[in-house]
Amino acid sequence: MTNRTTVLVVLAAASVGMTACRRQPVAPAPAPAPVASNTNAQARADSIAAAQRRADSLAAARAAEARDAAARAQAAQGELSSILAARVYFDYDRDALRDDAMATLDQKAAVLQANPAVTLTITGHTDERGSDEYNLALGQRRAAQVKRYLVSKGIDGARLNTQSMGESQPAVQGSDEGAFQQNRRAEFEARNAGTLVRPGA
Amino acid sequence: MHFARSPIVARLAIAAFVLLVPSALRAQDTTMRGVRIGLTYDPSGKPGVVVLPVAGVGGDSIAAIVARDLDFGDRINVITLDAASASAAARASIPNWALLAKLGAAAAVQVTPAPGRLHVAIYNVSTRQTARIHDYAVPPMAQARDWRAAVHAMSDDIEMALTGVRGIARTRVLFERGRRLWLVDSDGEQLTALSTLDGPSSSAWSPDGQRIVYNTYVPSQIVVQPLGGRPRAVASGSGVYISPVFTPDGSSVVFAHGVDEGVDLYSVPADGGTPRRLSVGRGSDNVSPSFSPDGRRIAFMSGRAGHPEIYTMDSDGTNADLLTPLDVGESAYRASPDWSPDGRQVAFQSRIAGTFQVLTVSLRDRGLKQLTSDGSNEDPSWAPDGRHLVFVSSRGGTRQLWVLDAESGRTRQLTRGAPVRLPAWSPRLAGE
């Protein structure tokens, strides 16, 4: 009986050593227990300590796993948010969607399909050339063109608000074509986008 | 025109008419029963006028303001006195006729401050007679804004007496700077920020100069606001609500609005109501309305032909017609029309060699006249005299307001500092 208990303790200790978190040193196998009156008490204490170590290491593993999952989820949310926020760009005095704009909007449409509570405000902007007032109209036309495209991809128009800032809020300062191109854009602001579901998930 | 009943003035007016029949006939449309003094004295056709030194507290300021106002009116050649002449003129108890004649002056203006008023005498140098005497009530000088306004109004009346045409000194220009609306007097003084709803833009005056109308982007709305009063949204909703103007009778506001199918012009009562659509743009952009003075036609810009051009239409939206000669080509871009107060022409901006310039188009023969060439020049707005324009120009480095005399080509800078946008010249304003 005594020997069997000792063997079990040893086995338990060994199994703790094998399954314990890698960061913890493997507990040295206890020396053959002398047959003495305090052997049982010692074995119990060892057992309790080993179980505690095992519980701690499991909790740490679970926490690390949760941290990794949270980071993965956050990265996924960030990626989905970026897709929703990605700007689309236009040619001078045009509201037609270029190929790169349509590719960006296709990704947005997929995220919007997967997240039916999300609404988008689409804001059209222009470069500084042209009349201030006409540019407000042009910015609105760009926002409307983006909305039309998303609606054509199956998004409910009621989820898409359009507005224009004309030339009043340039993305970058400057009076060269590089700056102009950056400023001829539509921007997107998502609402109810706290927890986004990945398309196809 | 009560002063025209004065025997002296009437006699002078007759004398001027007899001496200057061709000029008087040419100027018939604008010549009132004022005193056209000395048109023959100056080869440029502008009468030479001396503003005599003004004695008393603030005298220098009064003389400087009046001289500058008359100068900015561009109808008078203001003769500056050198120090010796000024002191000689100041010493004389009666006009120093010989000195004035030597300076080439056709007339002289003498302002004498009195409690609560300014006493003004206008002298005809050729006849050596007092042509006109008039008193103007003025507030205390400490009330700088009102005092200056009263002096400007006096200048305009003096210009009326001298040339037959009222001046435009007592006007203001409304404009946008740094997401606020500002007022500046016609001489560039008394710059004042207005208290409005957040993010005002594209402002315009009511015909009586008592109210303004503007739009905000967020929320998207048209706002009518009495100067010094409370703002009131008269139209709002999704999409854009932009470029509002009052109708010439002040009863309604016409503005551009669109959501998903282009931008069109709408009309709404100035105290609010249901907007009524005017233009039929079929998905194109139609913005920047400007009324003919009789209120029957509206000039506006439209992209309906593929690029922005200036059109006119009846005030109910019918009979739309291209105003600017069709300029086919990728770079054609005409914008920002403003109908002149005399109804004869429309000022606008057109892209020329990559930048914008201010032009006028005649309503009679569609003839174009380019008025600017220095830097980029945009957003013209007529002064109530139908001769001066304020516009945004980059010629000084940053976008500032400049004033142009469309007849002589003379320009002056009105604002300095941070960049500005979208000026609107007021009508002639009443005293404060």
What digits encode the pLDDT tens for the residues B132-169? 999 999 999 999 999 999 999 999 999 999 999 999 99
Question: Cα-Cα-Cα-Cα dihedral of B40, B42, B47, B48, to 10°?
Answer: -130
pLDDT computed for residue B330 by the predictor: 58
How far is Cα B48 from Cα B356, in angstroms, rounded to an integer? 36
Q: Is A133 on the interface with B (CB under 8 A)?
A: yes
Q: What is the pLDDT of residue A139?
A: 95
CA pair distance B6, B110, nearest whole angstrom: 18
So what's the pLDDT on residue B44?
Answer: 59
Between residues B224 and A33, which one has the greater pLDDT? B224
* Position B430 confidence tier, pLDDT thresholds 50, 70, 90: confident
Tokens at B288, concatenated: 């920047």
Element (H, E) at A89: strand A88-89
d(CA B126, CA B40): 11
Report the C-alpha gap between B79 and B104 in whole angstroms.
Answer: 8
On whether the CB atoms of residues B13 and B4 are closer than 8 A, the answer is: yes
3-state SS, residue A80: helix
- The alpha carbons of chain B give a radius of gyration, in whole angstroms, of 23
What gap in Å lies between CA B391 and CA B389, rounded to an integer? 6
Report yes or no: B193 and B235 within 8 Å, Cβ to Cβ.
no
Q: Which of residues 55-94 of A touch B (CB under 8 A)?
A: 93
d(CA A186, CA B263): 18
Q: Does B279 lie at the interface with A, CB-CB under 8 angstroms?
A: no
Specify the pLDDT at position B28: 34
Report whether pLDDT(B40) > 50: no
Q: Are B276 and B263 in contact (CB under 8 A)?
A: no
pLDDT digit string (tens) for A62-85? 999 999 988 888 888 899 999 999
CB neighbour class for B87 (10 Å; exposed up to 12, middle 13-18, buried from 19): exposed
What SS3 class is residue A33? coil
Classified as helix, coil or strand, A164 is strand
Best of B240, B263, B349, B376 to disrupt the A interface (most A CBs within 10 Å) is B240
Q: Which CATH number fits domain B2-163: 3.40.50.2030, 3.20.20.150, 3.40.50.300, 3.40.50.10070?
A: 3.40.50.10070
* pLDDT at position B218: 84
Sign of the CA dihedral with B227 first, then B336, B72, and B414 last: positive
Q: Which residue has the tokens 């495209």?
A: A149
Question: Position B361: which residue type?
Answer: V
Mean pLDDT for A163-184 is 92
* Per-residue pLDDT, B306: 86
Q: What percent of chain B has a predicted confidence (pLDDT) above 90?
A: 77
Cβ atoms B124, B107 nearer than 8 A:
yes
Q: Do B259 and A131 touch (CB under 8 A)?
A: no
Instruction: Please tell me which residue of chain A has the smallest CA distance to B348.
Output: A131
Q: Which of A17-21, B29-33, B191-195 has the lowest mean pLDDT?
A: B29-33
Q: Which range, of A146-155, B82-91, B270-279, averages the lowest pLDDT?
A: B82-91
> Residues 6 or more apart from A107 whose CB is under 8 A from it?
A83, A86
Spatial distance between the Cα atoms of A124 and B408, rounded to a whole number of angstroms: 42
A168 and B201: CB-CB below 8 Å? Answer: yes
The pLDDT score that the predictor gives to residue B354 is 87
- The tokens for B264 are 């069109």
Cα distance between residue A193 and residue B174, in whole Å: 42
CA distances from B109 to B3, B52, B66, B85, B357 (A): 16, 6, 9, 15, 38
Residue A3 predicted with pLDDT over 60: no
DSSP state, residue A172? S
Task: Determine, for residues B259 and A163 on separate chains, whether the beta-carbon distance falls below 8 Å.
Answer: no
More confident residue, B321 or B332: B321
Reported as a single tens digit per residue, the pLDDT across B384-417 is 999 999 999 999 999 999 999 999 999 999 999 9
Q: What is the pLDDT of chain B when averaged over all its residues?
A: 88
Contact status, residue A18 vs residue A55, Cβ threshold 8 Å: no
Query: Which residues share a beta bridge with B346?
Result: B339, B361
Residue A13 has pLDDT above 80, yes or no: no
Neighbours of A56 (CB within 10 A): 13
Alpha-carbon gap, residue A127 to A90, rounded angstroms: 10
Indicate the residue of B202, B262, B333 with minimum beta-carbon distance to A133: B202
Give the minimum alpha-carbon distance from A93 to chain B in angstroms, rounded to a whole number: 8
In chain B, domain spans:
2-163, 172-425
Q: CATH number of the domain at B172-425, please?
A: 2.120.10.30
> Which tens digits make up the pLDDT trace of B175-228?
999 999 999 999 999 999 999 999 999 999 999 999 999 999 889 999 999 999
Report the distance separating Cα A131 and Cα B355, nearest Å.
Answer: 11
For residues B273-298, give the mean pLDDT. 95
H, E, C per residue of chain B: CHHHHCHHHHHHHHHHHHHCHHHHHHCCCCCCCCCCCCCCCCCCCCCEEEECCCCCCCHHHHHHHHHHHHHHCCCCEEECCCHHHHHHHHHCCCCCHHHHHHCCCCEEEEEEEECCEEEEEEEECCCCEEEEEEEEECCCCCCHHHHHHHHHHHHHHHHHHHHCCCCCCCCEEEEEECCEEEEEECCCCCCEECCCCCCEEEEEECCCCCEEEEEECCCCEEEEEECCCCCEEEEECCCEEEEEEECCCCCEEEEEEECCCCEEEEEEECCCCCCEECCCCCCCEEEEEEECCCCCEEEEEECCCCCCEEEEEECCCCCCEECCCCCCCCCCCEEEEEECCCCCEEEEEEEECCEEEEEEEECCCCCEEECCCCCCEEEEEECCCCCEEEEEECCCCCCEEEEEECCCCCEEECCCCCCCEEEEECCCCCCC
Q: Minimum mean pLDDT among A34-48, A155-169, B111-125: which range?
A: A34-48
pLDDT at B362 over 80: yes
Would you state the pLDDT for residue B18? 35
Give ipTM to 2 decimals.
0.76
Residue A185, H or E segment: strand A185-191
Do strands B192-193 and B309-314 pair parallel, antiparallel, or not at all (unpaired)? unpaired
Q: Which residues of chain B lie closer than 8 angstroms to A130, CB-CB?
A: 308, 333, 335
Q: What is the pTM of this model?
A: 0.81
Q: Is A164 on the interface with B (CB under 8 A)?
A: yes
CB within 8 Å of chain A, chain B residues 121-160: none
| pLDDT score at A194 | 85
Residue for token digits 């007021």?
Answer: B426
Interface test with A, best of B217, B222, B238, B301 (most A CBs within 10 A): B217
Per-residue model confidence (pLDDT) at position B21: 34
> Is B201 within 8 Å of chain A by CB?
yes
The pLDDT value given to residue B281: 87
Window 361-390 of B: residues touching A by CB (8 A cutoff) are 378-379
Neighbour tally for B395: CB within 10 Å: 16
Tokens in use for B418? 């941070």
